[in-house]
Amino acid sequence: MADDNTKQNAAAPPQADEFGVDQKRMPFTDHLIELRWRVLICVLSVVAFALIFFIGFSGQMFRWMTLPVKLAYERTGGEATYHFRYDEMLLAYKPMDMFLSATYICLLAAVVVTAPLLVYQIWAFVAPGLKRKERMGVTKVVGAGSLLFLMGAAFAYFVALPVMLGFFLKYTAGFGVASRWNISEVIDFETTMILVFGASFELPLVVVALTFLGIVTPEFLAKRRRHAAAIVFIFAIVIAPTPDPVSQTCLAVPLILLYEVGYQVAKRIKRRGTLWDRWWGPVDQKPDESGPGEAAYTAPADVAPHEGTYPTYTEGSAYSAAYGAPEGSQPTSAPPEGEAAQPALPEPTEPPQTGGEAPGGAPAPAPSDQPAQPEQPDQPEQPDQPETPREPQIGAEVEDQRSTHDEGAKPQDSGWDPNSEPMH
């Protein structure tokens, strides 16, 4: 019941879902009351933790926050280089500097520690309003996003900050100027860097989201790798809170690696079918130039060159295929590169091909070659092949778990059915 908000049945008895919320019967004001309680719990827990931290552990917190400074000081030579002890380095030049910094640190720590509780409260409020499929998606996105953010923060704390601060220390000492850093400036600098790195490390999520929406394809990502690296570097220059080359490089290098991570995940997403594929039919790619079927690939005569890369339904082809092309719809969502990247695919089930046809059968823009099917002289056995033997080549290990367009190449499948199956 909770999964299908659209089919509301007034005669159904009140019934709570796993969150204890009977959303069918709940009036609007009850939602507000629930929201108030959840916000109150969040605020109280943050304040309680902040107080405990401030009273009991502020010294420990402060030592943790200044650990990158200490690392930078010791790694760049310590007292032998700078002629002052580390204890003399941090400076409060206003009466309240240290107090405000300690408060800030303890609030930050409280938010970090109570983050699971906060996320749970938000989730418990939002989840009953979501369909099961949406819940799965949100869980994945939030989980991956949290993990990536933590990775970025850890990278900033352990790697980037010591390197950057060491660079500044040494640079300043080179001019004969002593580094007596203001404690609140140092704390600000560190928290900003940690936030920026954590946010920037969400790059794979962005890449995967764009792929899932069908805005980019893995082939595009691979082809534009160098451009992406250049853009990432410019992005690092812009987003880095400091205009020095060290922090920009510290930010750009892991981002370029994360782009590759996003590319790998995007390939996997693409193989399982993206949102675009479910709605508009599959988007077929020309084989990559390093792909296996490159030499043998011949585009069908009626397909314009750009249609191999970008989805077009203006020709009336993809749209009609997704919304009930009557017969002969071939499941063609297996790009040759995807086959190469996944050895688990049952290759032997592929029917023998003749002539200059690529191993993907007719992986050419699938729906759009429907009208031209009889006019292609170089695939003579294509029309008499049954539909079913082509199914297993899409991906055997996911075939049984989904009802996406792949088996939905059945003519009456109209793209994405929200009530079909949870996405994987």
Query: Which residues here bind other proteins, judged by CB under 8 A?
Result: 91, 93, 164-165, 168-169, 171-172, 174-182, 185-186, 189, 242-244
Rg of the chain over Cα atoms, rounded to whole angstroms, equals 28
Residues 6+ apart with CB under 8 A from 80: none
* Shortest distance (Å) from residue 73 CB to other proteins: 12
Cβ atoms 3, 129 nearer than 8 A: no
Q: Which is nearer to other proteins, 186 or 318 (CB)?
A: 186
* Shortest distance (Å) from residue 165 CB to other proteins: 6
Tokens of 52: 């405990």
CA angle 130, 135, 137 (to 5 degrees): 125
What residues form DSSP beta bridges with 181?
90
Q: Which is nearer to other proteins, 62 or 168 (CB)?
A: 168
Q: Which is nearer to other proteins, 28 or 175 (CB)?
A: 175
Helix (H, G, I), strand (E, B) or coil at 26: coil
* Shortest distance (Å) from residue 186 CB to other proteins: 7
Which residue has 């899932």 as its token pair? 212
* Shortest distance (Å) from residue 144 CB to other proteins: 32
How far apart CA 390 and CA 403 sit, in angstroms, is 16
Residues 6+ apart with CB under 8 A from 243: 237
Q: Which is nearer to other proteins, 181 or 276 (CB)?
A: 181
How far apart CA 229 and CA 255 sit, in angstroms, is 8
Tokens of 144: 């991956």
Helical axes 115-126 vs 28-56, angle rounded to 10°: 180
* Shortest distance (Å) from residue 188 CB to other proteins: 9
Cβ atoms 167, 244 nearer than 8 A: yes
Backbone phi, then psi, for 157, in 5-degree steps?
A: -70, -45
Residues 6+ apart with CB under 8 A from 28: none
* Shortest distance (Å) from residue 191 CB to other proteins: 13
91: region left, alpha or beta (phi > 0 left; psi from -120 to 50 alpha): beta
Q: Which is nearer to other proteins, 180 or 224 (CB)?
A: 180
Q: Which is nearer to other proteins, 69 or 110 (CB)?
A: 69
How far apart CA 116 and CA 14 sit, in angstroms, is 30
Q: Which is nearer to other proteins, 165 or 409 (CB)?
A: 165
* Shortest distance (Å) from residue 200 CB to other proteins: 19
* Shortest distance (Å) from residue 164 CB to other proteins: 8
How far apart CA 147 and CA 45 sit, in angstroms, is 23
Tokens of 359: 């191993």
DSSP labels, 264-314: HHHHHHHHH--HHHHHH-----PPPTTSTTTTT----TTS-GGGGTS---T
* Shortest distance (Å) from residue 178 CB to other proteins: 5
Q: Which is nearer to other proteins, 164 or 266 (CB)?
A: 164
Q: Which is nearer to other proteins, 126 or 178 (CB)?
A: 178
* Shortest distance (Å) from residue 154 CB to other proteins: 20
Q: Which is nearer to other proteins, 33 or 234 (CB)?
A: 234
